[in-house]
Structure 1
Amino acid sequence: MALVPLKRRRRAPSPPAGPPDTGRFPAVVLCLVEKRMGASRRAFLTQLARAKGFRVDRAYSAAVTHVVSEQNSGNEVARWLEQQQEECGAGGDPALLDISWFTESMGAGRPVEIEGDGKCWGLGRVRVSWVPGTDPPPTPLPSSSSRCPTGGDSALSQEALETLAEEAGFSGSEGRSLAFTRAASVLKALPGQLSALEEGQALGSGLSLSLGQDVLEDGVSVEVERVKLSERYRTMKLFTKIFGVGVRTASRWYQEGIRTLVDLQERNTKLTRQQQAGLQHYEDLNTPVERGEAESIGRMVQEAVQRFLPGASVTLAGGFRRGKPRGHDVDLLLTHPEAGREAGLLSAVCLSPHQGLILYQHSQENSFALHEGPEPPGGRDVLDRFERCFSIFRLEVQGRPGAARGWKAVRVDLVVAPVGQFPFALLGWTGSRHFERELRRFAGHERKMVLNSHTLYDTRLNLFLPAASEEEIFQHLGLEYVPPTQRNA
């Protein structure tokens, strides 16, 4: 049977001319650059802006004060503006802005202030828009050593899917969240763009075809934009970034009418000690940790470990072991080559001369017993029962630009693994979370084994399979060894 090509989705028509009135903000006239934005997304954003009281002109004119672009460099938009002025004969000196300014303005319900000389707009202290005539600073890309590098054209689609996954998680829909997460991972792994015939299969059965087409063709959808601008999503995202606050707590606060960090303080909301520390150091804990900072903390802990137990080791895990230049926290695995010698090691580290640099700490004992047998497959948080210390370190950062007080708070997890379980702990704590989930799913479905951060158990042989390294774990599973730098998808 011959394949019948799918009909291409009709592109949205160009947005109609702007309303005759000047809207709620007469001094602001927007023009959206269609290049790389797409006609359908441009039409949707135009409709959204007008609903918020903004005036949006269909074409560039002398009245335009703000030119908004997406996925274009400063030089590209500057050339576009020159071409428009030549064709339309329009003058003016509009601000050339990144789409992030538009998104923030829609969320605020008003034009947000443009920083500096009126020609650039910064989002917080991290991401800054470009200035006309220059190229924007490069966006960090996945490690070049990744087995499946991300194509630049699909980055926006990945972000959209990850937003939907996050929102589904906030709503308690774990299955839907996982479907979006897997779809984003598929896009990350592909070397090029998908065709219309491939997109439904590639995104997976958990997503609708229409949503998949929107995301893949335009990098966004109406649903994604609504999620980003919804009060609940923005509030849940704010609260779940507090150390010690999960989805349930954040949702309860939202239902109580709490919307900001200031609200939490003014209402004297009851907080755990961990949440109090998270709120106190909120800004620092949501600032990326650089690799050099993580390595510095690793050396600090190594010194304390060696003083108490010579021969013990400290291994940097998590995203930094996968080759990432920055992360949200620092994961350190502690062990000793002689079984049982690691006992008491964690307490010694926390009571070392560096203890004065620990702003917060909460320890839990090892609750894993090998004779109990394997547990059902699941995520790291469910299966990991090592002795560990959740802590916040005070890291000295003198000489760093912007570090006026000379230090910053950094989240650090210290995990003690007996030497016999260390390879499994190293595999589990290296991640990524999605890689680990899929690896454990493969072990269960294809090999009838249970893999967690402590052991590998063969259910057919009723036998625990020992391993002295990560490579041996992959051998037991009948898989080619995947280096840490290739586990980012």
Structure 2
Amino acid sequence: MMSQIPVKKKRQRQSEPTLPTDLEDCVCFPEVVLCLVEKRMGSSRKAFLTTLARRKGFCVEAANSERVTHVVSEGNSGDEVVEWMKRNGSRSVDAAGSGPALLDLSWFTESMSTGRPVEIEPRHCLGVSVQAESLEDRCQVSPYACQRRTPLAHKNQVLTEALETMAEEARFCGSEGRSLAFSRAASVLKSLPWTVRGVKELHFLPCIGEHSRKIIQEVLEDGTSTEVENVRQSERYQTMKHFMKIFGVGVKTASQWYQEGLRTINDLQAHHAKLGKAQQAGLLHYRDLNSPVKRSEAEAIVQVVQKAVDQFLPGASVTLTGGFRRGKPSGHDVDLLITHPVEGQEVGLLSKVISWLDSQDFLLYHSTHRNASQALEDQELSVSMTAMDRLDHCFSIFCLNYPHGSIKGGSRAWEPGYELKDPGDATLWKAVRVDLVVAPYSQFPFALLGWTGSRNFERDLRRFSKHEKKMVLNSHTLYHTEKKIFLSAASEEEIFQHLGLEFMPPEERNA
């Protein structure tokens, strides 16, 4: 009988330690999500580094994750990393390298050594060169502002402020061409859906001249432009800017005062500078007219004017235009457009409204300009006239009363803009610049488009009409110069259709 040989028990293999399935439980730095680039790193090394990072409390995800904030590469250029990320399904990295930080392995190594994400320094970053084709694929930029959507908030504020300072200085010097060049460059940057990070991107953008490019490069590299700062600090620029804040004062008058040695408002008074009625009113209410007008204040003025209009022409409408129609929460003036659905009923309305407002002490100053032109059909040679040339309009300084009372009974002795300490105190009122415009109903869409702005948008819209469509557009009509016909429109949308343009809502006309 054979002896029974005991069966040898198989030695149980110890299971390898496994990582937690819920990685979020051991993530110490949730704001940092890593992606390791396998190219040149290799799959084995990538797996080792991934395990190391996770043990240190870092989150590591694949290239196609939208949560990735830091892309780590070994031995690749920034362009190669961008290409690899795109091939592996990333939608957060574009051809310009914007999105997650593109980092050399040195950042990863230092972070692992310290046990936390170290601060990103220039030596850690991988450079990306922008390719013309990829930038054009990302965003086609039109040279015309009327073909660019420009919201109020944009991503290149510091750059546009620098260019707009240069545009303003050029205008103060009487150089309209140079001013327009800087203004157009700023307008292009406002429309970009991305933040400009390098001068190479400027090469593919329209309307960016050499001088503008130099300013932008300085700001990008140094955080500021020496030339722009010198302008802002110059006595002439500051004085011109100060004088032109006075209602009724333009470049010519401000420049003349500067040449005469005047520098401040006190100088104007001490030297008895000759002032027109508008300038006198502007000087008297200087502080109010240079404080922002809130939307609620603008709407309160609309209600007062609508009340006046209703007394003389029921059914007439009062529309708030300008920056408020483009979505601005505040502005420096209030533009109102008045019309009536029955053509011709609006004739003579403005003078009646102004007389009533004045009799009720709502007007501190006003200057009315009557429409003295012929019918549009007889005005073919002058269809290029500007927005206010042939519309009844009034430039005024409005007395906006606050709920505590009216300005009657000597309350004008209060200084404009006076802040009440006690709600029960005397009347509070504020001087506000208000422009009233009356348009015939058939011209209302054109007037509404013209008075909504912005200035750059309107300028380019008319330039596009002339150069691309052989048409002349103003605040009265649209005229085809080759067909010799006026094109009617019942809305702004129809005007855009005539011009073959995609309709741009007011909120996206902040060029």
The separation in 2 between residues aligned to 1:401 and 1:266, in whole angstroms, is 25
Instruction: Give the AA of the match of 2:192.
Output: L
2:393 to 378, 388, 397: 388
Structure 1 residues 149, 309: CA separation in 2 closer, same or farther (over 3 Å shift)? closer
2: distance between equivalents of 1:149 and 1:346? 32
Q: Distance in 2 between matches of 1:285 and 1:233?
A: 20
**2:229 match:** 225
Q: CA deviation at 1:352?
A: 1.4
Greater mean alpha carbon deviation, residues 470-479 or residues 403-412 = 403-412
Equivalences for 1:314-333 in 2 at 5 Å? Answer: 314-333=318-337
Q: Which runs of 4+ in 1 moved over 4 A?
A: 146-152, 376-379, 398-401
CA 1:191–1:357 in structure 2 vs 1: closer, same or farther (change >3 Å)? same
Secondary structure of 2:169's counterpart equals helix
Alignment of 1:166-315 (within 5 A): 166-194=168-196, 195-202=198-205, 204-208=207-211, 209-315=213-319
Query: Retained in 1: the 8 A contact 2:152–2:510?
Result: no
Q: How many residues align structurally?
A: 341
Mapped to 1, the partners of 2:345 and 2:247 lie a distance apart of 32
Provide Cα deviations, 1:36-76, integer angstroms capped at 9, x if missing partner. xxxxxxxxxxxxxxxxxxxxxxxxxxxxxxxxxxxxxxxxx
Contact 1:421 1:454 in 2 (8 A): yes
Deviation at 1:150, TM superposition (A): 4.2
- 8 Å contact from structure 2 (residues 357, 363) kept in 1: no
| Structure 1 residue 222 displacement after superposition | 1.2
**Match of residue 478, structure 1, among 500, 504, 510:** 500
Amino-acid identity (%): 60
The alpha-carbon deviation at position 375 of structure 1 amounts to 3.3
- 5 Å-filtered alignment, 1:132-171, equals 147-148=150-151, 150-152=153-155, 154-171=156-173
SS of the residue 2:252 aligns to:
helix
Q: Which runs of 5+ in 2 are unaligned?
A: 1-148, 405-416, 422-426
Tell me: CA distance 1:149–1:431, structure 2 relative to 1, closer, same or farther (3 Å).
closer
Retained in 1: the 8 A contact 2:244–2:254? Answer: yes
Taking the aligned partners of 2:223 and 2:341, their CA distance within structure 1 comes to 50
2:380 counterpart letter in structure 1 = G
Name the residue aligned to 2:382. Answer: 375
User: Structure 1 CA distance, aligned partners of 2:463 and 2:471?
Assistant: 9
Letter in 2 for 1:197: K
Deviation at 1:151, TM superposition (A): 4.2
Q: Is the 8 A contact 2:199 2:216 kept in 1?
A: no
Report the Cα distance in structure 2 between the residues aligned to 1:247 and 1:147, rounded to whole angstroms: 28
Query: In structure 1, the residue corresponding to 2:303 is in which secondary structure?
Result: helix
* CA-CA distance at 1:403 after TM superposition: 4.8
Instruction: Tell me the residue number matched to 2:130.
Output: none
Q: Distance in 2 between matches of 1:258 and 1:342?
A: 45
Q: 1:348 to 1:441 in 2, by over 3 A?
A: same
User: What residue in structure 2 maps to residue 363 of structure 1?
Assistant: 368
- Matches of 2:309 and 2:226, distance apart in 1: 53
Structure number, greater radius of gyration: 2
Give the gaps of 5 or more residues in structure 1.
1-145
Q: Which residue of 2 aligns with 1:418?
A: 440
Deviation, 1:203, is 6.5
- Which amino acid letter does the alignment assign opposite residue 313 of structure 2? L
Which secondary structure does the structure 2 equivalent of 1:414 belong to?
strand
- Equivalent pair of 2:152/2:328 in contact (CA under 8 Å): no
Q: Note closer, same or farther for the CA distance 1:327–1:353 as it changes in structure 2 (3 Å cut).
A: closer
1:1-20 paired onto structure 2 within 5 Å: none
Distance 2:154 2:470 in 1: 35
Deviations 1:90-133 (A, max 9, x none): xxxxxxxxxxxxxxxxxxxxxxxxxxxxxxxxxxxxxxxxxxxx
**Aligned-residue offset at 1:481:** 1.1
Per the alignment, do residues 176 and 303 of structure 1 end up closer, same or farther by CA in structure 2, a change over 3 Å counting?
A: same
Q: CA deviation at 1:455?
A: 0.8
2:483 maps to 1:461: yes
Deviation of 1:380 (Å): 3.7
Tell me if structure 2 keeps the 8 A contact 1:312–1:334.
Answer: yes
Q: Distance in 1 between matches of 2:483 and 2:442?
A: 20
Q: In structure 1, how many angstroms separate the alpha carbons of the residues matched to 2:477 and 2:256?
A: 37
Please give the secondary structure, in 1, of the residue aligned with 2:398: strand
Take 2:208 and 2:323, find their aligned partners in 1: how far apart are those partners? 29
Preserved contact between residue 288 and residue 431 of structure 2 (Cα < 8 Å)? yes
In structure 2, do the counterparts of structure 1 residues 235 and 274 end up closer, same or farther at CA, with 3 Å as the change threshold?
same
Residue in structure 2 matching 1:443, options 455, 465, 469: 465
Three-state SS of the structure 1 residue aligned to 2:195 is coil
Q: Is the 8 A contact 1:440 1:452 kept in 2?
A: yes
Q: CA 1:376 to 1:218, structure 2 compared with 1: closer, same or farther past 3 Å? A: farther
- TM (norm. structure 1) is 0.67
Aligned residues of 1:150 and 1:189 also touching (Cα < 8 A): no
- Equivalent in the alignment of 2:419: 402
Residue 179 of structure 1: SS of its match in structure 2? Answer: helix
State the SS of the aligned residue for 1:394.
strand
Report the residue type matching 1:160 in the other structure: A
Q: In 2, are the aligned partners of 1:157 and 1:219 still within 8 Å (CA)?
A: no
* Contact 2:202–2:208 (Cα < 8 Å) also in 1: no
Q: From the superposition, tell whether residues 230 and 200 of structure 1 become closer, same or farther in structure 2 (CA, over 3 Å).
A: farther
Go from structure 1 to structure 2 and tell me whether the alpha carbon gap of 1:360 and 1:403 turns closer, same or farther (over 3 Å shift).
Answer: farther
User: d(CA) in 1 for partners of 2:214 and 2:335?
Assistant: 40
Asked whether the equivalents of residues 150 and 190 of structure 2 are also in contact (C-alpha less than 8 Å), the reply is: no
Please give the secondary structure, in 2, of the residue aligned with 1:233.
helix
What's the CA shift for 1:216?
3.7
Does the aligned pair in 2 maintain the 1:148–1:190 contact within 8 Å? no
CA offsets 1:159-189 (integer angstroms, 9 cap, x no match)? 1111000000000111110111111111111
1:427 aligns with 2:449: yes
